[in-house]
């Protein structure tokens, strides 16, 4: 059996690199209006850009990992050619308890848990990873799972937890849920270290839990994202797992099984556990999906297509997979990705897979979310820099992929800039997929300040059409979303 693993005693991370420089917390909650703009903010850009990320409210007692910091939402409201910035902590149960105690009460991801305690039982849900808009509220989530916190999109005040149904209470709901704007449904998955290891659910536009089911896995797994089509949800089981013996000792230690397949579960959106179909592919590991959709081929068969940015499978001297190198890249927040496609034929059960682009190194793919689960043409990814400094991962620029022509266009402004996941914001009255802007925070290391860059999605090579200069430093963070002005109005947000 070819099992490789990272020795769990080894500390792979540069101590406190994730607490330094532009990663460092900035815990002042503020509102900034009448901001300086370089260029001109488009008058047809109306909506809210929100990004989640860590900002530890208390200095950790032990080692710190980027995923440990308390969740803080940073939002920029664009309206009438003006921009207003606001930031607030997500008021999690953990943050409240630590504020009361005046110090950290939970160990971080890099700390050893007490003997016999599973990490799931001992970690704080910091709600720092993802943010989505659903049912008039922002949903804030942590990738390791826990309660989903609901947040008012106007004030960023935490409203409560998404626990209206008893089946949601105590569930390890992951980040990376998906919203179908056409139906108003919210598809999510939960995972953990106890049987059945995964659950799947759908919350309707009315806020009620419409579908909920266990998804049985062979053991604890490390899924990161999921995908939806108009009729199906796709869940992930990669051959990357925590070493079971380490898990029992309350530690995380990765191992990759190159003789196990990558498995994707295809579930009818409102199906039953009996309807889950598993499709197998080459072993690899992926964080983020760009999109998925259904296609009918020439034989009249339905294929599910899923596009994402998995880690490149590195080759060793013998031409085979270099598992240690792959684990090192994953375990050290390294960046080596390619754009890749998987196809699942629902009629024949056959699968196909292949590289879409292995020239550019990109991640954090975003699309026009009106096309979520529908065949789309464009994705907007973050261009990853080469690992040369301790400030890793380095989000160096933006890439626009045209999936129809196969072309890719990359933009980076030179040394000293650090991008953030940048969602697509449709222009008011837009009728075509790329008629709008790409909006995201940029750390300007040359001027030591945070900015918000607005780029014309049809001409990203031109660089930003507007740069909003912030007074508040926005620490590097994770996922984001765009909420259209009409969605905010419907949610009665000022
Ligand atoms: Fe993620």
The 10s digit of each residue's pLDDT in 335-356 is 999 999 999 999 999 999 999 9
Backbone angles phi, psi at 253, to 5 degrees: -150, 120
Distance 223 CA to ligand 1 centre (A): 10
What's the average model confidence in pLDDT over 403-409? Answer: 97
**Who has greater pLDDT, 109 or 162?**
162
Distance 365 CA to ligand 1 centre (A): 10
What's the average model confidence in pLDDT over 298-319? Answer: 96
Distance 301 CA to ligand 1 centre (A): 32
Contacts of 102 (CB under 8 A, 6+ apart): 58
Residue 13 banded pLDDT, cuts 50, 70, 90? very low
Question: Among 292, 296, 290, which Cα is nearest to 229's?
Answer: 292
Distance 292 CA to ligand 1 centre (A): 17
Task: Report the C-alpha dihedral over residues 447, 449, 454, 456, rounded to 10 degrees.
Answer: 30
pLDDT at residue 416 is higher than 60: yes
Q: What is the DSSP string of 390-421?
A: SS-S-EEEEEEEETTT--EEEE---TTEEE--
What percentage of the chain has pLDDT greater than the value 70?
93
The 10s digit of each residue's pLDDT in 118-151 is 666 778 999 999 999 999 999 999 999 999 999 9
Q: Dihedral of CA 290/293/298/301: which sign?
A: positive
Residue 391 banded pLDDT, cuts 50, 70, 90? low
Distance 481 CA to ligand 1 centre (A): 13
pLDDT at residue 292 is higher than 60: yes
Distance 478 CA to ligand 1 centre (A): 7
Domain ranges of the chain: 2-490
Distance 157 CA to ligand 1 centre (A): 23
What's the average model confidence in pLDDT over 226-241? Answer: 98
Distance 176 CA to ligand 1 centre (A): 7
Distance 473 CA to ligand 1 centre (A): 22
The 10s digit of each residue's pLDDT in 453-480 is 999 999 999 999 999 999 999 999 999 9
pLDDT at residue 64 is higher than 80: yes
Distance 422 CA to ligand 1 centre (A): 13
pLDDT at residue 89 is higher than 80: yes
What is the rounded CA–CA span in Å between residue 273 and residue 349?
Answer: 18
Distance 143 CA to ligand 1 centre (A): 7
Distance 309 CA to ligand 1 centre (A): 11
**pTM of the entire predicted model:** 0.94
Fold of domain 2-490: Methylamine Dehydrogenase; Chain H (2.130.10)
Three-state DSSP class for 229? coil
Distance 260 CA to ligand 1 centre (A): 23
pLDDT at residue 1 is higher than 50: no
Distance 383 CA to ligand 1 centre (A): 15
Q: Which strands form 209-214's sheet, in the order they lie side by side?
A: 178-180, 185-191, 198-203, 209-214
Residues linked to residue 315 through DSSP beta bridges, in sequence order: 321
Q: What is the DSSP string of 303-328?
A: EEEEEEEEBP--B-TTSSB-HHHHHH
Look up residue 283 and give its DSSP letter: S
């Amino acid at each position: 059996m070819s099992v490789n693993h990272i020795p769990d005693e080894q500390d792979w991370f540069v101590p406190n690199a994730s607490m330094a420089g532009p990663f460092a917390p900035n815990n002042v909650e503020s509102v900034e209006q009448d901001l300086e703009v370089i260029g001109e903010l488009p008058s047809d850009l109306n909506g809210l850009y929100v990004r989640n990320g860590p900002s530890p409210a208390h200095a950790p007692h032990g080692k710190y990992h980027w995923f440990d910091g308390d969740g803080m939402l940073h939002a920029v409201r664009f309206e009438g050619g003006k921009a207003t910035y606001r930031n607030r902590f997500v008021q999690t149960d953990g943050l409240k308890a630590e504020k009361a105690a005046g110090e950290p009460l939970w160990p971080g991801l890099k700390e050893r848990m007490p003997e016999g305690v599973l990490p799931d039982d001992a970690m704080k849900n910091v709600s720092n990873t993802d943010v989505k808009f659903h049912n008039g509220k922002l949903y804030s989530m942590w990738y390791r799972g826990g309660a989903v916190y609901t947040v008012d999109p106007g004030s960023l005040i935490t409203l409560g937890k998404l626990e209206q149904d008893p089946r949601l209470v105590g569930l390890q709901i992951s980040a990376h849920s998906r919203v179908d704007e056409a139906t108003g449904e919210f598809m999510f998955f939960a995972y953990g270290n106890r049987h059945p290891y995964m659950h799947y659910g759908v919350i309707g536009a009315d806020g009620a839990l419409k579908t909920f089911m266990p998804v049985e896995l062979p053991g604890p797994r490390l899924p990161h994202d999921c995908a939806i089509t108009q009729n199906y949800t796709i869940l992930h089981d990669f051959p990357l797992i925590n070493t079971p013996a380490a898990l029992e000792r309350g530690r995380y230690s990765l191992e990759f099984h190159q003789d196990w397949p990558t498995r994707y579960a295809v579930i009818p959106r409102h199906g039953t556990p009996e309807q889950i179909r598993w499709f197998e592919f080459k072993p690899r590991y992926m964080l983020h999906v760009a999109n998925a959709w259904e296609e009918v081929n020439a034989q009249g068969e339905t294929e599910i297509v899923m596009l994402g940015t998995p880690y490149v499978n590195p080759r060793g001297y013998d031409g085979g997979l270099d598992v240690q190198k792959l684990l090192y890249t994953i375990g050290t927040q390294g960046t080596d990705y390619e754009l890749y496609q998987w196809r699942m034929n629902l009629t024949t059960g056959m699968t196909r897979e292949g590289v879409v682009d292995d020239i550019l190194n990109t991640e954090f793919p975003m699309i026009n979310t009106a096309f979520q689960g529908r065949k789309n043409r464009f994705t907007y990814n973050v261009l990853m820099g080469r690992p040369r400094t301790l400030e890793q991962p380095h989000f160096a620029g933006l890439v626009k992929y045209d999936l129809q022509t196969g072309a890719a266009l990359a933009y980076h402004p030179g040394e000293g800039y650090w991008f953030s996941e940048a969602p697509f914001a449709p222009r008011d009255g837009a009728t075509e997929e790329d008629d709008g802007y790409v909006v995201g925070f940029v750390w300007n290391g040359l001027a030591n300040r945070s900015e918000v860059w607005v780029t014309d999605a049809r001409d990203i090579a031109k660089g930003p059409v507007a740069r909003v200069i912030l007074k508040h430093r926005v620490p590097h963070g994770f996922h984001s979303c765009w909420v259209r002005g009409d969605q905010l109005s419907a949610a009665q947000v000022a």
